């Protein structure tokens, strides 16, 4: 293989990272995830730790610079940040996220000799999955553009209910390593069985029924109000917003369950009480149940992003994990100097308690999540296996016409696959959807249109292995595997 100059290798890594988002929604060109990863592994295979770090960083700049460019939209278009400030914050965000593939490459290079099968098939895949896991919890977690999410429509989805999204990402990197290994006669005898085994096992796991139906299907109406984000908190628009949800709900009163988006009522429960009481009376009259997104307040003056049920005996849910830039500012020590230039309504909310009673919807316990929480499997697992189905309310209008709403829906579908549960997902401007227990979107709304999505969801019972174990098996696999490589290197160094 030709030896590339350092800057040529970094440029190539940058381009590979920049094309990686094409593997995710809305493009869904999943082979690109394997091919881009294979290109990076090929570059890393013969690199020194320093070279691997800089190539990984370049890859991360491309991956997140393109894939999460929507952060700029949220800050500039809807947070009223001036363009230079929004651009600077977005760059800082991308610069931090890019450090994770950089650390993965350097770690693998330090624990294995260049050009060896040990680096290609062990060190690099384990280092990659470890750093994806770390990124999922660092500063609250940013598990966006994880490789596994791009594999929902492939046999690798079979790993999802077993060990979750990160195991699907590990399968992607192992597949990429196998492709690189096929280029050398010395490693081809490992690569071909590895590639066949990874995909064959994924297909076999996909045939297992981990969960079972727990009752008759429930008719659902998902209301997409399509309230313009720029005017969502405008007092002059408030009554028109309430009228929208009133009329769309009344037109679908034959549904058993009606789901509104996150903060569909852009005010406190106490301030919107007359409207909520009115809708509760209508719900009782028609024998339906409404789940409404609204802001809640406790007696201590704390404000919450909440879901409440109408009638109220179904319970309420306070969002546990707040969304970056919408409800709190990540990397606040960096962003605080620019806070005066960013105007985000309700951007200092309080997190809900970890232990909250499940909502009781249509006679079944349901696991609720709001917006960004759908990206965090640990938040969804808190309701399982008791929850018979999942609901997610979001307001992706913050992202505008960008990649984020499509990526967010794909991420939410991962939670259905991992848990073996139906999910009803309501968003303000789209994409609202019904997702089946295999992570397949069976119905969806168009974006930026007022719509009501009708369908049925089936309550499920039982627990997938992932619901029981979470990510701990992968933490152990990556940690022990890399520790073993480190110990082997130390022993060889002392012997040598």
Which residues are tagged catalytic? 262, 319, 371
* DSSP states of 21-45: GGGSTTT--THHHHHHHHHHHHHHH
Please identify which residue in the block is written with the tokens 């992003």. Answer: 305
Phi, psi angles (nearest 5°) of residue 450 = -75, 130
Assigned token pair, 19: 């094309």
Report the alpha-carbon angle 353-310-270, nearest 5: 65
Q: Say how far apart CA 253 and CA 152 lie, in whole Å.
A: 34
Residue 484 to residues 39, 75, 175, 190, 428: CA-CA distances in angstroms? 26, 44, 22, 20, 49
Q: Say how far apart CA 413 and CA 418 lie, in whole Å.
A: 9
Across-strand partners of 15? none
Please identify which residue in the block is written with the tokens 């597949």. Answer: 175
Across-strand partners of 456? 219
Number of residues that make up the chain: 496
End-to-end CA distance of the chain: 29
Residue 463 to residues 211, 356, 438: CA-CA distances in angstroms? 6, 20, 14
Q: List, in order, residues 6 or more apart from 72 with CB less than 8 Å away.
A: 86, 87, 90
SS3 132: helix
Q: Say how far apart CA 406 and CA 70 lie, in whole Å.
A: 11
Q: Are the CB atoms for 103 and 126 separated by under 8 Å?
A: no
SS3 449: coil
Rg (CA), the chain: 24
Nearest to 381 by CA among 393, 371, 370, 369: 369
Q: Are the CB atoms for 460 and 222 separated by under 8 Å?
A: no
Report the alpha-carbon angle 426-428-434, nearest 5: 25
């Amino acid at each position: 293989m030709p030896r590339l100059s350092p800057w040529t290798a970094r440029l190539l890594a940058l381009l590979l990272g920049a094309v990686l988002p094409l593997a995710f929604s809305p493009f869904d060109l999943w082979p690109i995830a394997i091919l881009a990863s294979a290109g990076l592994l090929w570059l890393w295979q013969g690199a020194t730790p320093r070279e691997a770090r800089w190539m990984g960083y370049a890859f991360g700049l491309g991956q997140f610079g393109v894939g999460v460019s929507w952060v700029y939209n949220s800050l500039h278009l809807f947070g009223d940040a001036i363009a230079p400030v929004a651009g600077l914050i977005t760059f800082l965000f991308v610069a931090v996220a890019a450090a994770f593939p950089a650390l993965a490459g350097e770690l693998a290079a330090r624990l294995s000799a260049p050009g060896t099968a040990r680096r290609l098939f062990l060190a690099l895949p384990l280092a990659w999955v470890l750093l994806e896991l770390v990124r999922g919890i660092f500063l609250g977690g940013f598990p966006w553009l994880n490789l596994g999410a791009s594999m929902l429509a492939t046999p690798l989805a079979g790993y999802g209910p077993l060990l979750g999204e990160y195991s699907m990402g590990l399968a992607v990197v192992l597949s990429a390593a196998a492709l690189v290994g096929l280029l050398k006669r010395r490693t081809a005898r490992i690569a071909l069985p590895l590639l066949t085994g990874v995909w064959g096992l994924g297909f076999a796991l996909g045939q297992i029924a981990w969960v079972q139906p727990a009752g008759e299907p429930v008719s659902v109406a998902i209301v997409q109000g399509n309230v313009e984000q720029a005017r969502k908190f405008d007092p002059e628009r408030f009554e028109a917003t309430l009228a929208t949800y009133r009329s769309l709900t009344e037109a679908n009163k034959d549904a058993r369950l009606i789901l509104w988006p996150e903060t569909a009522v852009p005010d406190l429960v106490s301030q919107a009480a007359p409207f909520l009481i009115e809708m509760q009376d209508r719900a009782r009259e028609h024998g339906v149940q409404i789940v409404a997104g609204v802001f809640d307040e406790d007696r201590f003056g704390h404000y919450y992003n909440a879901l409440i049920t109408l009638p109220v005996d179904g319970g309420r849910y306070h969002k546990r994990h707040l969304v970056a830039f919408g409800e709190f500012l990540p990397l606040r020590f960096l962003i605080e100097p620019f806070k005066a230039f960013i105007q985000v309504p309700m951007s200092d909310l309080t997190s809900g308690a970890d232990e909250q009673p499940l909502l009781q919807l249509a006679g079944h316990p349901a696991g609720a999540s709001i917006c960004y929480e759908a990206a965090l499997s640990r938040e969804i697992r808190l309701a399982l296996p008791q929850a018979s189905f999942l609901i997610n309310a979001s307001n992706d209008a913050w992202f505008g016409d960008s990649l984020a709403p499509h990526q967010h829906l794909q991420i939410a579908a991962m939670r259905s696959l991992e848990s073996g549960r139906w999910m009803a997902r309501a968003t303000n401007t789209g994409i609202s959807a019904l997702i089946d227990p295999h992570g397949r979107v069976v119905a969806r709304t168009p974006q930026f249109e007022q719509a009501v999505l009708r369908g049925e969801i089936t309550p499920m019972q039982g627990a997938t292995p992932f619901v029981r174990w979470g990510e701990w098996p992968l933490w152990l696999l990556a940690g022990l595997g890399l520790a073993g490589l480190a110990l082997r290197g130390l022993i060889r160094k002392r012997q040598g």
